[in-house]
Amino acid sequence: MSFTPQHYEEMSQRLTQVKQEIGQFIVGQQEAVDFTLYSVLADGHALLEGLPGLGKTMLIRTISDVLDLSFSRIQFTPDLMPSDITGTSMIERTDDGKQTFSFRQGPIFSQMVLADEINRATPKTQSALLEAMGEKTVTVLGDTKQMARPFFVLATQNPIEMEGTYPLPEAQMDRFLCKIHVNYPTKEELKEIIMRTTGAKIIQLQKIMNADELIIAQQMVKEVLIADDMLDYAIDLTSATHPNQDATEDVKQYVQYGSGPRGLQSLIRLAKARALIAGRYHVSIADIKAVATPALRHRMLLNYEGEAEGKTADSILESLLQTIKQGQTS
């Protein structure tokens, strides 16, 4: 299907309606709403990090309602087993007395899967999500099963320094298109939250889009254009996260590993999704700068000196965004 500028304008209006409907229930958290939608439009997975009680789970459930997607929630705990996620084959007796294997689907077989408090489960269980996230398939006893379309894993986690949590393996962290920080609400937002949640008024969410329309929007994201100079800028920015001889002093001193090619892919996909929501069919420099930190922050590993000095990936990326200029050669 060939998309015209009018198609992009109409889809932008539709997605604006989606954001407005989400705002009927979710107070504030505009960055979290935006980047969760960018991830969904870019056909990727998102990781939301924040303290308990900030509305991470409610945000994801609200988005699934507004987009009319099938939803399942997996509460990660230390005793959760991989089969609790993927499902298992069971022996059942047929009417004629014979025994046969029957597969019982786990909660991973939904269009939108909430992996709640993902870092409370052991690494073995966390890795059960890896195939589904990367290949959109699940293999049980040698039998490979396809996931639903569209398919997203939106995971929440508590800050890693909290007791009873396990760091996600680097390979699984890299599968997330972006890592979103969910911030504490302002006084005005807290007041509005209390008014909405403790009053008698019940908010009924409308379904603005459906799965078929979302798949069309995802195709439109793929066809958003990116000029060579924009792509070169994104490459320069991603390459600058590596502590090589051309790196900035901060990166050389404090970074152990930088982002790989998947980080660059995520940067471009998120920038294209942002352009679509704005009604544009080309990526701008503002798109790339706006999505750079959530796309790359979880792909940078600081060294011991960086951690000891209290440096963060966010602060280093902010410095890179001010240092790397458009048109700079790689």
pLDDT per position as a tens digit, 166-190: 777 777 788 899 999 887 777 887 7
Average pLDDT over residues 269-284: 92
CATH at residue 123: 3.40.50.300
Residues of the chain with pLDDT > 90, as a percent, come to: 21
Q: Is residue 133 part of a domain?
A: yes
Count of the separate structural domains present in the chain: 2
Q: What is the pLDDT of residues 35-56, one digit of tens each?
A: 999 999 999 999 988 877 777 7
Q: Is residue 60 part of a domain?
A: yes
Q: Kindly report whether the peptide bond that precedes residue 5 is cis, defined as omega within 30 degrees of 0.
A: no
CATH at residue 310: 1.10.8.80
Please, what is the average pLDDT of the chain?
84
In terms of domains, do 141 and 162 share one?
A: yes
Residue 212's nearest CA partner among 258, 121, 149, 275 is: 149
In terms of domains, do 148 and 192 share one?
A: yes
In terms of domains, do 171 and 308 share one?
A: no
Widest CA span in the chain? 74
Q: Is residue 92 part of a domain?
A: no
Average pLDDT over residues 161-166: 67
Do 290 and 277 contact (CB within 8 A), yes or no? Answer: no
Q: Which of 169, 197, 223 is the last residue of a domain?
A: 223
Query: Domain containing 216: what range?
Result: 1-79+109-223
In terms of domains, do 254 and 307 share one?
A: yes
Do 239 and 222 contact (CB within 8 A), yes or no? Answer: no
